[in-house]
Every structure is written in structure tokens, then in C-alpha cells.
Structure 1
């Protein structure tokens, strides 16, 4: 009996070691590919927020005499003008776009005619673990994107941005949860949509949830549009934006911290479950 238990224990340990090495191998492979394409990745991450910031927080304030204000910023009481409102929102957009692009776009190719996904799932890992690796790797890219967007959103506006970290622990938690959530959203989209329709999704789904994700305005500024204020609560991007807003620009009105963390965890669990379920279905089909 003792011998059987020892054999089972050793087998379980060997299986865990194999899974760990296989998971690390997938991560190293993806990191190597990212390293070769680092310049295009950085350009893709920085271009949209750079142009938005340049036009709306640098060019337009100079055209209007340098006031630097914006009706949304005035309504929210932003001390630093529109740049203060945009800082957390653009970081959320960078996290979201990077996470989705890191998963959904490669899946469109891997599930295509060539079925490149079959090479990945042949590694000694459960199918769910292969899907989880994609989420974790995309989260790393999203964290890099946030680090790239922050100095752009902080230094480009013509008026000083009133940013202050109220809690480093809360900021770190929001960044990690938001990055994982973006990857889970990318996995869900990438497995739910046919490869030839992936481009359409960015126009039909990604753009609407961005503009309705409290990116360019605080959730508190929707007070006079109650139907919209409650309607956007089904949008996971809202909690990314509000979490970063509560962390970096606490002077602006924002959701309660507990609600932000709870909803980020809820959407992360929901989209991870949907994404892994869809990934398994597409792989075995």
C-alpha cells in the first residue's frame, strides 16, 4: 500500500514537472517572437494614444489660447484639464487593445486553413492550460502597453496632469486584473468569431465598448444620463478605466474601490471560462 502511494505521488510530481516545463516553453517561445517584433509592437501600442493626446491636449488647447479645459473635464472637476481625465482612460485602452490583439489576432491565423493551433496543443499540457498561457502572455504585453502609454499621457498635454497614486497596492491589483481581463476578452473574441470576420469585430465590437467604456469621461460624469450610466455597467472596460482613475487621479469622481475590484474579478472569471470553453471547442472541432 505504501509503495502504491509512493508511486502515485512520484507520478503526480512528474506530471506537474512536465506541465511546468511545457508551460514555460510556450511562454519562452512567445517571448522570443515578441522580442523579434518589439518595434512594431511598441509602435502599435503608442500610435493611437500619441495622436489622440497630441490633437486634443496639445494642439487644441493652443488653438483656444492654452486654456486646456474641456467640457468633460470641467464637469468632472479635473484640476489638470482634459489630460487628467484621459490619463487613466488611455492606459485602459492601451491595456485592452494590446491584450485583445495579442490573443484574438494570432488565433485568427492559428485557427485558419493551416491549423497552426494543432502544433501548440500537441505539447504535454491540457488544452485549458494552453489557453491560459495565451491569457497570461497577453497580460504581460498589456502591462508593457500601460507602461508605454503612461509617460505619453502624462507629459504630452499642454496643461499639467494632476496624477497622484493613492494606493500602490490598489494600482498594482487593478493593472494585473485589467491585463488578465483584456487577455480573457481577446481569447473569448478569438474563439467565438470566424477568422475571416476578426477585422469586422474591431469595428462592430471593440470601438463601441471603447467609447462606452468611460475612457474619455469619468463614470460619475454620466449623472444626468442615468440610463446610460447604468447601461455601461455591462461593459468590462468601464471597470478598467475607473480602477485606473481611482488609482491615478483620485481627485476625479469614480466608482467605489470594492465595486471596481469585485467587477474586474467577476468579468475575469466569466470571460476566462467562456474563452477556455470556446478554445477547447475550436481545437477539438
Structure 2
């Protein structure tokens, strides 16, 4: 007979804070993996800014015997620096999310190991964006010493507002991670190289990296079209914060563009990530 006085067996309560600890554990795991490849990461980040600064701000002025190209009331080096920081942010975010996802969604389905952790599946996607944002900030800061030592003409930097600089850096890094998530979750692994050719390179050259957005007023239709490009707001935001003497987009427009880009790309990226994981 069953003992009527026996108490029902209760499962032990789930410890509080488990999702937060799991999120932190994923971040620590990715940090440890990155620390083992720190040197290749640094080389990958600084190679493009190094070559651009060397050719356009050191070699060209010396070949021409002048003081360097001028644009928008300042030296080309001053114009170029915020754009190169934006490029470093964008390429780092894409490389940190899209390229690993192309492997994780491949034949081996390594993504299944990640989504088994005690986290909602969408939180795994958000962790990828957040961790890539940390890498993007580090990559952008690596460009600053290069701009100090390489150009033959001084780069005139002045942080007009630290809150704006910090906000732009964080938002731009999150947008880059969201862009990487969107690409990685939307494109088949074998097509990643094609995306770089037909998407990443064009939006870089049309992202106000090498010229201020205000100077596009001479080509009005293009000045309006490029507003759909998130790199425009990265470049202009850093130009606003670091080189306030140069023509730049209003701060509110920059912040609105970054927030809007983050909302759109984040939504698309997380939705496609969930679809790929469930399928």
C-alpha cells in the first residue's frame, strides 16, 4: 500500500541568475578563445588602416612634396582617421560574427552545442553581438596610435564631447555586430565571400569613410541614398566627436541613424538566427 503520509518529491528549485551566469560564461569562453589568437586578430585589424595611412597620408604627400591633400578645410589624414576607425569597427564586427557563423551553421552544426546552454536561443544571438562589440571597440582604439605616428602632416584630433564619443563607439560597435549577425544568419556559408564583394566593399566606399557626408551635397541624390548605409553614421559620428572642426552630420541625426540601424539589423539578424537554428 502507498503510504498516505508520504510527501511528494519536489524538484530542487532552479538557481536564480542562471541565464545571466550562462551569458557571462559564453562571453568568457569567447574571450578565452580570442586570447589564444590575439596576435592574428591585431594583425587583421590594423593591416588595412596601416596601409591606407601609409599610402595616402605619408607616401603621397612626400611624393608630391606638399603638405598633404586638403579636404573640407583640413588635411586628408584628419578626414580619414574617423572613417578608418569606422571601417575597423565594421570589418571586425562582420569577421567576429558572420565568419564564425558560417562554420557553426555548416555541416557539423556546431551551433547546436551553443544553444544547449541554459539561455533562450535569442540570447545566444545577442551574446554574439555583444562580444563582437567589445572587439570592435578594441579594434577602433588600435587605429589611434597609427594615426599619431604615420601621417606626414599632423592629425588634428580633439574630443569635443566624451559622452558623444562613448555613445557613438558603443552604438557603432553594436550595429556592426548586428550587421555581422544578419549576414551570417542570412547567407549560406559558401556565399560569404560573395557578400564581401557585392555588399561590404560597396557600402565601405559609399560610407563617408574617405570624405565627409556634407561634401556629397554636390551630388544631392547620392547624399540622400547613402543615408540607408549604417557606416555613414559610424564615420560621421566619429568625425563629429574627434574632428569637430571638419564638416559633419548633426549629432542627433547620427545617434538616430545608429539606433535605427541597430533596431533594424538586430531584428533581422535575431529572427534569421532563430530560423536557422530551429531548422
Task: Indicate the TM-score class for this superposition, using the shorter chain for normalisation.
Answer: over 0.9
Counterpart in 1 of 2:22? 22
Deviations 1:118-174 (A, max 9, x none): 000010100010000000000000011011012112331100011110000100000
Partner SS, residue 206 of structure 1: helix
Q: In 1, Cα distance between the equivalents of 2:188 and 2:244?
A: 41
Q: In 1, Cα distance between the equivalents of 2:241 and 2:147?
A: 15
Q: In 2, Cα distance between the equivalents of 1:15 and 1:203?
A: 48
Asked if the contact 1:174/1:244 (under 8 Å) is kept, the reply is yes
Question: Higher helix fraction: Structure 1 or Structure 2?
Answer: 1
Q: In 1, Cα distance between the equivalents of 2:15 and 2:257?
A: 35
Q: In 2, Cα distance between the equivalents of 1:27 and 1:105?
A: 17
Q: Number of residue pairs matched?
A: 269
Residues 227-246 of structure 1: pairs in structure 2 closer than 5 A: 227-246=221-240
The equivalent position to 2:139 in structure 1, one of 141, 145, 149, is 145
TM-score, reference length from structure 2: 0.94
Asked if the contact 1:96/1:182 (under 8 Å) is kept, the reply is yes
Counterpart in 1 of 2:8? none
Counterpart in 2 of 1:51? 51
Partner SS, residue 254 of structure 1: coil
| Gapped regions of structure 1 (runs ≥ 5) | 1-9
Counterpart in 2 of 1:4? none
Deviations 1:7-34 (A, max 9, x none): xxx96xx465110111111101100000
Deviations 1:204-259 (A, max 9, x none): 10000000000000001111100111110000000000000000001011111011
What's the C-alpha RMSD, in Å, of the aligned pairs? 1.3
Q: Does 1:253 align with 2:247?
A: yes
Q: In 2, Cα distance between the equivalents of 1:211 and 1:181?
A: 18
TM-score, reference length from structure 1: 0.92
Q: Does 1:77 align with 2:43?
A: no
Post-superposition, which runs of at least 4 consecutive aligned residues in structure 1 deviate over 6 A? none
TM-fit CA distance, 1:65 = 0.5
Asked if the contact 1:209/1:235 (under 8 Å) is kept, the reply is yes
Q: 1:35 to 1:92 in 2, by over 3 A?
A: same
Q: In 1, Cα distance between the equivalents of 2:191 and 2:90?
A: 19
Counterpart in 2 of 1:191? 185
Q: Does 1:163 align with 2:157?
A: yes
Counterpart in 2 of 1:93? 87
Q: In 2, Cα distance between the equivalents of 1:42 and 1:284?
A: 35
Asked if the contact 1:136/1:183 (under 8 Å) is kept, the reply is yes
Q: In 1, Cα distance between the equivalents of 2:57 and 2:257?
A: 31
